[in-house]
Amino acid sequence: METTVTGQDPNKCVICAQPKYADGKMCSDCRNKLTELSIPSWVKIFAASVLCLMVIGIIRMPKFLSACMHSARGEKAQKEHRYKTAEKELTYVAAMFPDNVENNARLIICCGHNLDYKGMAEVSQRAADEKSEELTLIDEANDVIHKVTASLPSPKLDSLLARIGRPDKPSTIDSLKEFIALNPDDFFASFILANYYYDTQDWTKTDSITNMLLSKDPENIKALGLMAAIKRENKQYDSAIYFYDKMLEWNAELPEAISGKARVELKRNRDGEAKKFAEESYALDSTNSASLEAMALVDYFSGHRSEANKMLACIPKATTGDSMIAARVMDVLNGKTKYR
Amino acid sequence: MFLIPGFIISLLTFPGIIVHEFAHQLFCRLFHVPVFKVCYFRLGNPAGYVLHEKPKEDWQQVLIGIGPFFVNTILGLLIAFPAAAAFNFHDDSPLNAILIYLGASIAMHSFPSRGDAESIWKNLEGKTFKKILVSPLMLLIYIGAFGSIVWLDLIYGVAVTVWLPNLLIKSMA
């Protein structure tokens, strides 16, 4: 509250009662004295104590502020389905606060969307048994874990594959078919079978199995990717782009989908567009085999053979993908396979 | 409504009252207005006051009256900011709790009191046009003053110390 003082004898200073010799109700000495900012000692001590606490808080702040900024950027990117950026930002936070449950839950969601299963397993292990009030977030993270687990080989399938080896011969395929008949809900078994038919260019069977997988889980990224590849190989380029875009709805920064679009554009001789997508994918993840494959193909078709070979040499060292990719690209670069 | 006697609230949030009165004093100093007496805190009504000469300009009186709104809000925010950032990562150390308490108690005393409003209004006696100009401000001050019955001051304090830092961080990110 503040109150103004008015009134009293107009010829005398209201403070010292001396005849005033300045404008207003006070003499100039009193006026000067009273306009000074005089603060009692106890208020100064109080202010100094608050200031001290504030300084300690500020000294401790950079770590928290940096974590908050990365966390806010991560959350924003996650909301926009830019999971690569989100994972990168949230990894910074995890480096500072490895036991923060909310951050770990977000990180699990991002790793799942980025097909980074190794990262997801690491974070899940760290976050196990931790409690949080953010139940929606925890439920979402658990959903992602469940989805990822369901689309990976089950222990039963693993033991079958260990016994029969890579399912790329009719004899081993029969064993796989028997397994699927007994385990119709095993996603990965059906997916391997669809891949086998894809490699043997049996489009009707590949299409049928992939459609079945998508009817069970319309957002399944592996099934969407395979469907896009089927469409691309059957010259249904717009449909192929449609399926890659469906993958990008799920994760706008998925190199497998962006580089897939580059491969579609190469097929239909739109090399400029293809280059744009390949570079975008490579910028997002230069260690992803799909990005490297797209770059190698774009370089090859634009006449930059040495660059294409450099990209090809990087594929075996890539953090994602399988040995088939390098062999596939090598066949194109050697002229063994006609890509378009 | 959960009612707590005013003097208990004043006692619990005394840092805010000290800063509030200091803000009035600071604005008086800024405009070279002589200050006769400052009561930074007491267990009474009002819990604090500043006695000063009438400023030369009417707008100076307005700014002296609403000065605490700016000083308390900014200071409350600055004090609580580091703690609010730390609370996001469940760092509930005593220092953070103290900083949030200080920030919130200072920010919740940002609103000018009814006494401040009356002082501004009294200064404008016979100046109808100026009264019309400041009446929206008067209305806001009265809303703030009466809003304290429904804990508007506390809500404001918490918003400044908890919600605003996070909003600032998000906008900077």
Within 10 Å of residue A202's Cβ, how many Cβ atoms?
Answer: 13
Smallest Cα distance from A58 to chain B, Å: 6
One domain, residues A127 and A95:
yes
Write the Ramachandran bin of B32: left for phi over 0, alpha for psi from -120 to 50, otherwise beta.
Answer: left
HSE at residue A141, side-chain half, CA atoms within 13 A, is 24
pLDDT of residue B24: 95
CB contact under 8 A, B86 and A37: no
Candidates A4, A34, A53; nearest CB to B54: A4
Binding-site residues on chain A for chain B (CB distance < 8 A): 1-6, 15, 24-26, 30-31, 34-37, 39-40, 43, 46, 50, 53-54, 56-58, 60-61, 64-65, 67-73, 76, 97, 100
The distance from CA A131 to its chain's CA centroid, rounded to whole angstroms, is 24
CB contact under 8 A, A69 and B82: no
Candidates A5, A15, A46; nearest CB to B52: A5
CB contact under 8 A, B173 and A73: yes
Tell me if B46 is assigned to some domain: yes
What is the Rg, in whole angstroms, of the alpha carbon atoms belonging to chain B?
A: 17
pLDDT in tens, A261-302: 999 999 999 999 999 999 999 999 999 999 999 999 999 999
CA distance A203 to A190: 15
Smallest Cα distance from B14 to chain A, Å: 11
3-class SS at A19? strand
DSSP assignment of chain B, as one string? -----HHHHHHHTHHHHHHHHHHHHHHHHHTT--EEEEE---SSSSS-EEEEEPPSSHHHHHHHHHHHHHHHHHHHHHHHHHHHHHHTTT---HHHHHHHHHHHHHHTT-SPPHHHHHHHHHHTTT-HHHHHHHHHHHHHHHHHHHHGGGTHHHHHHHIIIIIHHHHHHHHH-
Q: Which of A124, A150, A176 is the C-terminal boundary of a domain?
A: A150
pLDDT of residue A32: 82
Percent with pLDDT over 90 in chain B: 54
Structure tokens at B124: 């404008």
Smallest Cα distance from B30 to chain A, Å: 9
What is the Rg, in whole angstroms, of the alpha carbon atoms belonging to chain A?
A: 33
Tell me if A338 is assigned to some domain: no
CB contact under 8 A, A1 and B22: no
One domain, residues A53 and A139:
yes
- Residue with the bigger pLDDT between A136 and B101: it is B101
One domain, residues A138 and A17:
no
Candidates B21, B48, B86; nearest CB to A60: B86
Q: Which residues of A touch B103 (CB under 8 A)?
A: none
pLDDT of residue A126: 82
Tell me if A302 is assigned to some domain: yes
CB contact under 8 A, A2 and B116: yes
B121 close to A (CB below 8 A): no
CB contact under 8 A, A1 and B49: yes
CB contact under 8 A, B115 and A2: yes
One domain, residues A23 and A80:
no
Tell me if A173 is assigned to some domain: yes
One domain, residues A33 and A124:
no
B159 close to A (CB below 8 A): no
Residue A246 belongs to domain with CATH number:
1.25.40.10
One domain, residues A328 and A189:
yes
Residue numbers of chain A with a pLDDT score lower than 50: none
- What is the rounded average pLDDT for all residues in chain B? 90
CB contact under 8 A, A50 and B15: yes
Rounded mean pLDDT, B137-157: 89
Tell me if A339 is assigned to some domain: no
One domain, residues A51 and A114:
yes
One domain, residues A136 and A193:
no
CB contact under 8 A, B82 and A60: yes
Structure tokens at B66: 């609403």
B66 close to A (CB below 8 A): no
Residue pair A207/A226 in contact (Cβ under 8 Å)? The answer is: no
CB contact under 8 A, A53 and B95: yes
Tell me if A340 is assigned to some domain: no
ipTM score of complex: 0.81
b/e string for B114-153 if b means 16 or more Cβ within 10 A? bbbbebbbebbeeeeeeeeebeeebebbeebbebbeebbb
Q: Is the dihedral of CA A146, A150, A151, A155 positive or negative?
A: positive
Q: What's the pLDDT band for B43 if we cut at 50, 70, 90?
A: confident
Helix axes A187-199, A203-216, angle to 10 degrees: 160
One domain, residues A27 and A69:
no
HSE at residue B21, side-chain half, CA atoms within 13 A, is 24
A110, exposed or middle or buried, with CB in 10 Å at 0-12, 13-18, 19+? buried
For residue A99, CA distances in Å to A60, A129, B89, B105 come to: 19, 11, 10, 32
Smallest Cα distance from A67 to chain B, Å: 9
Tell me if A198 is assigned to some domain: yes
Tell me if B33 is assigned to some domain: yes
3-class SS at A4? strand
CA distance A234 to A294: 19
Tell me if B16 is assigned to some domain: yes
pLDDT of residue A170: 77
3-class SS at A1? coil
A80-89, A183-192, B119-128, B132-141: least confidently modelled range: B119-128
Domain count along chain A: 3
Q: How many CB pairs under 8 A join A and B?
A: 130
**Spatial CA neighbour of A152 closest among A105, A203, A86, A221:** A221
Q: What's the pLDDT band for B30 if we cut at 50, 70, 90?
A: very high
Residue pair A86/A77 in contact (Cβ under 8 Å)? The answer is: yes
One domain, residues A213 and A297:
yes
Domain count along chain B: 1
Tell me if B1 is assigned to some domain: no
Candidates B33, B61, B173; nearest CB to A76: B173
Q: Which domain holds residue B121?
A: 6-172
CB contact under 8 A, A61 and B81: yes
Candidates B22, B29, B65; nearest CB to A35: B29
One domain, residues A167 and A145:
no
Determine which of A1, A27, A28 to mutate to test the interface with B (most B C-beta atoms within 10 Å): A1
One domain, residues A112 and A75:
yes
b/e string for B54-71 if b means 16 or more Cβ within 10 A? bbeebebbbbbbbbbbeb
Q: Which domain holds residue A70?
A: 43-150
B152 close to A (CB below 8 A): no
Q: Is the pTM of this model over 0.80?
A: no
CB contact under 8 A, B15 and A46: yes
Q: Which of A134, A150, A166 is the C-terminal boundary of a domain?
A: A150
Question: Residues 98 to 117 of B: which have CB under 8 A from any A CB?
Answer: 98-99, 102, 113, 115-116
3-class SS at A12? strand
A118, exposed or middle or buried, with CB in 10 Å at 0-12, 13-18, 19+? exposed
Residue pair B103/B79 in contact (Cβ under 8 Å)? The answer is: yes
CA distance A252 to A70: 19
Q: Which of A89, A123, A150 is the C-terminal boundary of a domain?
A: A150
